[in-house]
C-alpha cells in the first residue's frame, strides 16, 4: 500500500516521461494564450471577431480553470488601457510605472485596476449569464484548484510544478511582457500616439500579441500582422475557426483603394486618407524622409563634413510621433533641420500633415482645403520625392459601400 502511494506521488496516473510532461505543459499554456488573444482580447475587448457561443463558452471555462481570469474584469481593464494609454490613468503603463514594476507585478496592476467604477464603465457587453454569475465570478478560484488536482492526479508531485508554470504563464507573458516590453523595446511599423512596439515579427509564443504596435495602431483589427514577413498565429486560429463556422472576423483594419486614374483631391480622398493615416505616414517616412536623409547625408560628405553623428537615426527621429519625442531627440531634430533646408521642409510638412489628421472631427470642407494646400506646397517644394508622394495621395478613395471610420 505504501509502495503504491509512493509510486503514485512520483508518477501519478500517467507515469509520463519528462518530455511528455513538457509537451503537456506547452499544449495547455498554448491553448490558454489562444483563449486570451482570440476570446478576451479580439472578441470581448475589441469586438474585432465574433465567436460562436459554444466556442466562447469553452474559452470562458478554460480561462477559469487555467488562470481564474474573469471576462468582464480583463475586458474592462484592457479597454481602459487603450482609453488612457501612457497616462496616469493607464492601468499598466511602463512609461508611467516603470518597466521593472510592470514585468514583476503585471498581474497585480490588472487586479488593482478592476474597480467597480472601471467594471461599470468599460465592462459592458460581457457575459452575464447564470454560469458567469454563479460559477466563474462567485467561485473564481475553484477552477485553478480543480486544475491543481487534475495535474497532481495525472503526474504526481511533478504536477505541482506543471500547475505553477500554468499559473505563471499568463501573468509573465501577457501581463508582464506584452504590457511591459511591448511598450519599451522593439520596432514600430506605425507612429501611433503611444509607446507600443512590436516585440517580434513572429507572433507565436504569445499568440500574435507580440505585434503590439500593429494592434495599438489598429485596435479593432482581428489580424495583428501587417507586413509580409510578420506572422500572427492568433489570426491563423481565427481563420481556422472561420472555416468550421465557429468564428467570423469583423474587421481587419481600414479598407481603402488607390485608383491610378484618379487625379484630383475630393472628399473620398479625405476620408480614405483619414482612415488609412497611419499607413500613409509610414509611407511618408519611407518614400519621402528616408531618401531626403540619404541625399542630405551624401551632400554633407561631399563638402567634407562629418555626417556620422548628425544623421544617426535621422529617419526615426524625424518621423517620431510628436508626443513621444524626448528632449534629447528634440535637440537632434533641431540639429538635423538646421543642417539641410530639404530636411527642414520634409519635417515641417510631416508635422503639417499630422495636424490635418488631428482635425478629423472638424469641418469636412476645411479638411479638404487643408489637404489641397498641403499637396500644392509639396508639389512646389522642389523635392521630387515629396512631389511624387503628393501626386499619389490623389489616387486614394473609399471603396463602394464601405463606411468611413
Asked if residue 295 and residue 206 are part of one domain, the reply reads: no
pLDDT at residue 86 greater than cutoff 90: no
76-80, 169-173, 348-352, 380-384: the lowest-pLDDT one? 169-173
Are 17 and 94 within one domain? yes
Closest listed residue to residue 11, CA positions, set 162, 166, 164, 154: 154
Assigned domain for 259 exists = no
Residue 256, in any domain of the structure: no
Q: How much of the chain, in percent, has pLDDT values that exceed 70?
A: 93
Pair 151, 159: CB distance under 8 Å: yes
Q: How confident is the model at residue 306 (pLDDT cuts 50, 70, 90)?
A: low
Give, in degrees to the nearest 5, the angle at Cα 226 between 221 and 230.
125
Residue 99 has pLDDT above 90, yes or no: no
Q: What is the DSSP letter of 32?
A: H
Alpha-carbon dihedral 169, 171, 173, 175, rounded to 10 degrees: 160
The answer, yes or no, to whether residue 324 has pLDDT greater than 90, is no
CB distance 152 to 18 below 8 Å: no
Co-location of 273 and 242 in the same domain:
no
pLDDT at 304: 59
- Per the domain annotation, does 361 fall within a domain? yes
Residue 269 has a pLDDT of 92
Q: Is residue 241 part of a domain?
A: yes
**Parallel, antiparallel, or unpaired for β 247-249 and 49-51?**
antiparallel
- Element holding 241 (H helix, E strand): helix 233-243
Same domain, 13 and 57: yes
Q: Is residue 316 part of a domain?
A: yes
The mean per-residue pLDDT over the stretch 154-182 comes to 88
E runs forming strands in 209-292: 231-232, 247-249, 257-258
Residue 114 dihedral angles phi and psi, to the nearest 5°: -80, 60
Total number of residues shown for the chain: 405
Shared domain check, 244 and 283: no
Residue 17 lies in a domain: yes
Instruction: Note whether 169 and 281 are same-domain residues.
Output: no
Mean per-residue pLDDT for 342-368?
90
From 249, 280, 305, give the residue that closes a domain: 249
Q: What average pLDDT does the segment 219-243 reach?
A: 97
Pair (150, 207) in one structural domain: yes
Q: How does strand 231-232 pair with strand 247-249? A: unpaired
Residue 242 inside a domain? The answer is yes
Cβ atoms of 90 and 81 closer than 8 Å: yes
Helices 364-379 & 267-275, crossing angle to 10 degrees?
90
Looking at the predicted structure, is the pLDDT value of residue 3 above 80? no
**Are 188 and 234 found together in one domain?**
yes
Backbone angles phi, psi at 258, to 5 degrees: -120, 120
Compute the distance between CA of residue 223 and CA of residue 237 in angstroms, rounded to an integer: 11
Please enumerate in sequence order all residues whose Cβ is within 8 A of that of 349, keeping only pairs 6 or more positions apart, or say none: 374, 377, 378, 381, 386
| 335 & 220 share domain | no
d(CA 38, CA 47): 10
Q: Are residues 179 and 296 in the same domain?
A: no
Judgement on whether residues 210 and 184 belong to the same structural domain of the protein: yes
CB 37 within 8 A of CB 234: yes
In this structure, is residue 254 part of a structural domain? no
Of 234-243, 306-315, 342-351, least confident by mean pLDDT is 306-315
Same domain (yes/no): 199, 106: yes
Average pLDDT over residues 57-74: 94
* Cross-strand pairs, 49: 249
What per-residue confidence (pLDDT) applies to 102? Answer: 80
Q: How many domains does the chain have?
A: 2
Q: Which domain holds residue 242?
A: 2-249
Judged against a pLDDT cut of 80, whether residue 311 lies above it is answered with: no
Last residue of a domain, one of 219, 249, 279: 249
Asked if 333 and 325 count as a contact pair (C-beta separation under 8 A), the reply is yes
Average pLDDT over residues 314-342: 87
**pLDDT tens for each residue of 109-138:** 888 888 999 999 999 999 999 999 999 999
Amino acid at each position: 500500500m505504501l509502495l503504491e502511494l509512493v509510486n503514485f506521488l512520483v508518477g501519478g496516473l500517467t507515469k509520463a516521461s519528462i518530455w511528455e510532461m513538457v509537451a503537456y505543459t506547452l499544449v495547455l499554456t498554448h491553448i490558454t494564450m489562444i483563449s486570451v488573444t482570440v476570446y478576451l482580447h479580439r472578441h470581448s475587448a475589441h469586438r474585432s471577431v465574433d465567436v460562436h457561443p459554444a466556442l466562447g463558452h469553452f474559452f470562458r471555462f478554460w480561462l477559469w480553470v487555467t488562470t481564474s481570469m474573469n471576462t468582464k474584469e480583463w475586458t474592462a481593464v484592457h479597454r481602459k488601457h487603450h482609453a488612457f494609454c501612457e497616462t496616469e490613468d493607464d492601468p499598466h503603463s511602463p512609461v508611467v510605472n516603470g518597466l521593472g514594476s510592470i514585468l514583476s507585478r503585471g498581474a497585480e496592476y490588472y487586479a488593482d485596476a478592476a474597480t467597480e467604477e472601471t467594471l461599470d464603465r468599460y465592462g459592458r457587453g460581457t457575459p452575464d449569464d447564470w454560469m458567469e454569475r454563479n460559477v466563474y465570478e462567485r467561485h473564481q478560484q475553484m477552477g485553478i484548484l480543480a486544475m491543481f488536482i487534475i495535474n497532481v492526479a495525472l503526474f504526481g508531485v511533478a504536477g505541482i510544478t506543471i500547475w505553477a508554470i500554468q499559473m505563471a504563464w499568463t501573468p509573465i507573458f501577457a501581463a508582464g511582457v506584452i504590457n511591459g516590453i511591448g511598450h519599451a523595446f522593439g520596432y514600430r511599423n506605425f507612429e501611433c500616439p503611444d509607446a507600443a512596439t512590436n516585440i517580434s515579427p513572429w507572433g507565436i509564443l504569445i499568440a500574435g500579441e507580440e505585434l503590439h504596435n500593429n494592434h495599438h495602431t489598429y485596435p479593432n483589427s482581428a489580424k495583428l500582422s501587417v507586413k509580409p514577413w510578420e506572422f500572427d498565429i492568433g489570426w491563423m486560429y481565427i481563420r481556422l475557426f472561420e472555416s468550421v463556422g465557429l468564428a467570423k472576423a469583423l474587421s481587419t483594419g481600414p479598407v481603402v483603394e488607390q485608383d491610378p486614374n484618379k487625379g484630383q483631391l475630393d472628399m473620398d480622398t479625405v476620408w480614405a486618407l483619414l482612415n488609412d493615416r497611419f499607413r500613409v505616414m509610414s509611407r511618408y517616412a519611407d518614400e519621402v524622409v528616408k531618401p531626403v536623409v540619404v541625399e542630405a547625408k551624401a551632400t554633407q560628405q561631399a563638402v567634407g563634413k562629418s555626417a556620422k553623428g548628425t544623421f544617426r537615426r535621422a529617419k526615426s527621429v524625424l518621423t517620431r510621433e510628436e508626443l513621444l519625442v524626448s528632449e534629447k531627440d528634440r535637440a537632434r531634430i533641431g540639429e538635423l533641420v538646421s543642417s539641410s533646408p530639404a530636411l527642414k521642409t520634409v519635417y515641417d510638412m510631416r508635422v503639417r500633415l499630422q495636424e490635418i489628421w488631428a482635425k478629423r472631427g472638424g469641418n469636412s470642407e476645411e479638411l479638404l482645403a487643408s489637404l489641397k494646400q498641403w499637396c500644392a506646397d509639396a508639389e512646389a517644394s522642389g523635392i521630387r520625392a515629396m512631389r511624387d508622394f503628393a501626386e499619389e495621395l490623389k489616387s486614394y478613395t473609399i471603396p463602394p459601400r464601405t463606411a468611413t471610420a
